[in-house]
Amino acid sequence: MSLGTRYNGQGGASPEDTGAVIAVAERVGRAIETVIEGKPDVVRIALTVLIAEGHLLIEDIPGVGKTMLAKALGRSVDCSVQRVQFTPDLLPSDITGVSVYHQERNEFEFNPGPVFANIVLGDEINRASPKTQSALLECMEELQVSVDGATRPLERPFMVVATQNPADMEGTYPLPEAQRDRFMARVSVGYPTPQAELDMIDTHSSRSPLDDLAPVAEAADVRAMVEHVRGIHVAPGIRRYVVDLVTATRTSSALRFGASPRATLHMVRAARAYAALEGRRYVVPDDVQALAVPVLAHRLLPTPEARVERRTPEDVVSDIVARLPIPGPQ
């Protein structure tokens, strides 16, 4: 990235717009990076999902900063943030909200649940029962809540950041593939580098950096960015490339199930957002390549043979990306 990515995309349809978007995105990105150090790629994916109107699944072992990332994201944007700690006894109504009888007014009044926020942090989502999980997932898909026959729209932007702990399996209900498909991307935070860990000791030991994190953007900024993302050009060759990529996951002998058509849509949206974050007004294959693993891998199921060979879906997607020819000139 040393070769100034800033060069590209000049002379587009609305350079001021582009500049503003980059400025906002950079501010948010820097803010998050003060908390999650040494993970620019993860932060970038999170931002991409935010402005692509998707939902993010953070899957990793405990203690690497899953919740920290989610919180930092929520805090750096000045918008409503709700946090739900998923536990086995959590009920669907604890998420969506519940109608309670108002004695004075002699009517039922709807008490909105935590889902009525711009950013919803679902912590350890796999600890809740499938019933509760699906209540959240329905909101994610439809951007509305139906309680007692009334349909209430959710706020915009709306983003669910769910964390999941793959190592701790006791008493958990891991998300089924169909549910995972609703998340636009999955990231793993991973262990920090030794240097980042050293810095962390210095900064985090005294107080949490989250406390210092002030919002750097407003919900309106995010909505503007979302609007901008919709105008990013996707060349026909790139669309074909995405379809080729998804098709390749379906025909691969190492995978039981390939990616769904929803994955294709997610991929195009994410690529647009990624290009916008780079300050470009069109998508290039590199965007798709960078997003292939986060957007596709969590939806794929390896065959038993691949499992035996310890080939993860991530490996398979990387292989496909490394071999699939990029779209040439039209």
Residues interacting with another protein, by CB under 8 A? 3, 7-8, 10-11, 233, 235, 237-238, 244, 247-248, 251-254, 281-286, 289, 319-330
User: Closest approach of Cβ 213 to another protein, in Å?
Assistant: 33
Sign of the CA dihedral with 196 first, then 204, 214, and 47 last = positive
Least distance from another protein to the Cβ atom of residue 318, Å? 11
CA–CA distance from 235 to each of 245, 266, 330 (Å)? 15, 16, 9
| Min separation Cβ 95 and another protein, Å | 41
In the complex with another protein, the residue whose CB is nearer, 58 or 248, is: 248
In the block, tokens 């999170």 appear at: 46
Nearer to another protein by C-beta: 102 or 250? 250
Burial class (CB in 10 A: 0-12, 13-18, 19+), 34: middle
Output the smallest distance, CB 326 to another protein, in A: 5
207 versus 310: smaller Cβ distance to another protein:
310
Number of Cβ within 10 Å of residue 117's Cβ equals 21
**Which amino acid, 102?**
H
Q: How far is the CB of 237 from another protein (least distance, A)?
A: 7
Nearer to another protein, 229 or 284 (CB): 284
CB of 278 to another protein, least distance (A): 10
Q: Which long-range contacts (CB under 8 A, 24 or more apart) does 212-215 make?
A: 212/34, 213/31, 213/34, 213/35, 213/72, 213/75, 213/76, 214/31, 215/75, 215/76, 215/77, 215/78, 215/79
- Closer by beta carbon to another protein, 151 or else 330: 330
Query: Cβ closer to another protein: 28 or 232?
Result: 232
Question: 102 vs 240, which CB is nearer to another protein?
Answer: 240
Return the H-helix or E-strand segment holding 266.
helix 261-277
According to DSSP, residue 57 is labeled E
Least Cα distance to 227 among 287, 283, 273, 159 occurs for 273
- Gyration radius (Cα) of the chain, Å: 20
Shortest distance, position 45 Cβ to another protein, whole Å: 19
Rounded to 5 degrees, φ, ψ at 116 are -85, 75
Least Cβ distance, residue 300 to another protein (angstroms): 15
Q: Dihedrals φ, ψ of 62, to 5°?
A: -65, 150
Please identify, using beta-carbon distances, which residue of 10 and 195 lies nearer to another protein. Answer: 10
* Tokens found for residue 301: 């199921």
